Structure 1
Amino acid sequence: MVRKSSGEILAQIRAEKDNPKVDVWWGGTGDPQLQAAAEGLLEAYSSPVHSELLPWAQNFHDISGGRATGIYAGALGFAYNTQILEKKGLTAPSCWKDLASETYRGEVQIANPNSSGTAYTALATLVQIFGEDEAYRYLGELNENVNSYTKSGSAPVKAAARGETLIGIAFMHDAVTQKQAGFPIEIVAPCEGTGYEIGAVSVIKGARNLDNAKLFVDYALSAEGQATGAAAGQNQVPSNGKATVPPEAPDIATIKLVDYDFATYGSADMRTHLLSRFDGEVKTAH
């Protein structure tokens, strides 16, 4: 098993397409898996467990052409360290626009969308909320407050939990895990609305251990397999309708979610376009 951020995994699978070194892609944001599916890098597979999955997971499977399936869902947000906030006498942020205020100069962390699926979801979310040009203007303003673009999507909220930054942008379930561990953080669902991820699982085209890869997917989609997430302290919403939802999982039914367009923002052309704009207009200014 190798653990990498979603963008890094996509790059590896592309590089190894003629001689795959791995059999299964498990977890992480689904957008890069949709891109891999469109590029013919994933094997079509419909698990016998498919009928037990919630509609959003089945829909993701359909969008991918049967090459990737949703295993969990999680909403994007941010968290702030309450002790640092109080010590500095700052007002708590509640919206995306708040994070661009000069009040939080040097106080925000977010991952780099080139490596992180979490950060790419944030990028695509902001474009869908504000429109593309306004979103990049916002990101330019936010850039003034960013102290670090991390490689991993969960790193910013871990840094906020440890007091290394005031605010970390991440998936809310990752923030819940930190709060459960006793860290002084408060979790925010942005007032303008927010996007969400569908974490996915897929079989790599040309997998050396195809039969076992399919068995792994079956287990990952089963209620039994998805129970291992909660047992390991994870707080995503599982995709199997028979699986138990972790009690501390953010209730996505109560969060203002955008109608996230996975087909559009999961395409290779759109990803290339958005990342190119980010590198040219935002990251170079950091």
Structure 2
Amino acid sequence: MKHKTKFLAALAVSSLTATVALSETELTVYTAVEAEDLARYAETFNASNPDIKINWVRDSTGIITAKLLAERDNPQADVVWGLAATSLLLLKSEGMLEPYAPAGVGDLDAKFVDDDNPPAWVGMDAWVAAVCYNTVEAEKAGLKPPTSWKDLTDPMYKDQVIMPNPNSSGTGFLDVSSWLQMFGEEGGWEYMDGLHENIARYTHSGSKPCKLAAAGEIPIGISFAFRGAKSKADGAPLEIIVPSEGVGWDMEATAIVAGTANLEAAQKLVDFTVTKEANEMYNTGYAVVAYPGVAKPVEHFPEGLLDAMIDNDFEFAANNRAAILKEWQSRYDGKSEAK
């Protein structure tokens, strides 16, 4: 009798464990968020949603965007959490997103929310272009700090500049699309022709040019401002320069992939992404977030940067993305680092 009781108890525990395992939902989430942030995001979400497991697929913006487009007819992702809004606008135009108004979306700054009702995507935070300038290495090379984008075409910067490849980096694409908006199509390509003469190489990461400048491997890295501020706070001899013509920017955003078999769990995740708690997490990596009043001052964040943000035409960037990237590739890809 004792053995039978133990057997039944073990069977009950086994059944309970199986039930719990079966009740857990797994979400495949595609993201371009910095890798060091992902565990923290999942841990915070799971504190209130322990029955949903996030399986991250992380890469740079261009690669994640291309992967989603390639899987258009057989989607593998349930949610996109942290991809450039310009990419999500493109996915929206292809009918690849499931419209959804997350609980609390009305608390967000309206410019971070898709105009449709219900919205196809919801913004999280914004990142802004800037130039990371290593004062020590620049002095060794006899350089003077640039004050504008066009300054970077000066021959004295020959082989002294690194920037991201727009085909793989969202930061690189916002740079290129903003130059085309600021200087016009003809003037934009002429500018990039001149800049290309001074480029040492193109990276496949938006943060890498600033990290390389911070490490003293190159005097000048075209990157984004928060990465520069973070590196400077860690002791790097950086000056974060806001070019006088203005700076491009983009926002990270979240959306549900159309056709997901885990719609309810996906909605819970997107509900979480717009909360004040989530926006407080975004603020540890970005100075501008979607939830008003959350963003705290960032040490070493350059003055005047927010005022320098151009009136970015996201529709232009999304609608012309393929043509812009094709043209850029044909002109400049020879200096890209190996993938």
Deviations, residues 188-224 of structure 1 (Å, cap 9, x unaligned): 1111111211211111112232212111111111110
Deviations, residues 17-65 of structure 1 (Å, cap 9, x unaligned): 233222111113211111011111111111121110012113xx11697
Output aligned runs, 1:100-179, within 5 Å. Answer: 100-179=153-232
Output aligned runs, 1:32-111, within 5 Å. Answer: 32-58=87-113, 61-62=114-115, 66-111=119-164
* Counterpart code for 1:10: T
Deviations, residues 235-270 of structure 1 (Å, cap 9, x unaligned): 331101252435335567753222110112122xx1
The equivalent of 1:203 in structure 2 is 256
CA RMSD of aligned residues (A): 2.0
Contact 1:237-1:246 at 8 Å conserved across structures? no
Q: Distance in 2 between matches of 1:112 and 1:41?
A: 25
* Counterpart code for 1:235: Y
Q: Distance in 2 between matches of 1:64 and 1:21?
A: 26
**Alignment of 1:258 onto 2:310:** yes
Give the alignment partner of residue 12 of structure 1, picking from 45, 50, 67: 67
Contact 2:210-2:227 at 8 Å conserved across structures? yes
Greater CA drift, 92-101 or 171-180: 171-180
* Counterpart code for 1:47: P
Q: Distance in 1 between matches of 2:117 and 2:322?
A: 18
Contact 1:80-1:168 at 8 Å conserved across structures? yes
Contact 1:154-1:174 at 8 Å conserved across structures? yes
| TM-score relative to the length of structure 2 | 0.78
Identity fraction in percent:
34
Q: Distance in 1 between matches of 2:326 and 2:243?
A: 26
**Alignment of 1:276 onto 2:326:** yes
Contact 1:38-1:64 at 8 Å conserved across structures? no
For structure 1, the 5+ residue unaligned runs are none
Secondary structure of 2:235's counterpart equals coil
C-alpha change, 1:227 and 1:245, in structure 2 (3 Å) is same
C-alpha change, 1:203 and 1:254, in structure 2 (3 Å) is closer
Secondary structure of 2:323's counterpart equals helix
The equivalent of 1:237 in structure 2 is 288
Secondary structure of 2:101's counterpart equals coil
**Alignment of 1:22 onto 2:74:** no
How much has 1:4 moved relative to structure 2?
Answer: 0.8
Structure having the higher Rg: 2
Greater CA drift, 273-282 or 107-116: 273-282
Secondary structure of 2:126's counterpart equals strand
Q: Distance in 2 between matches of 1:11 and 1:36?
A: 10
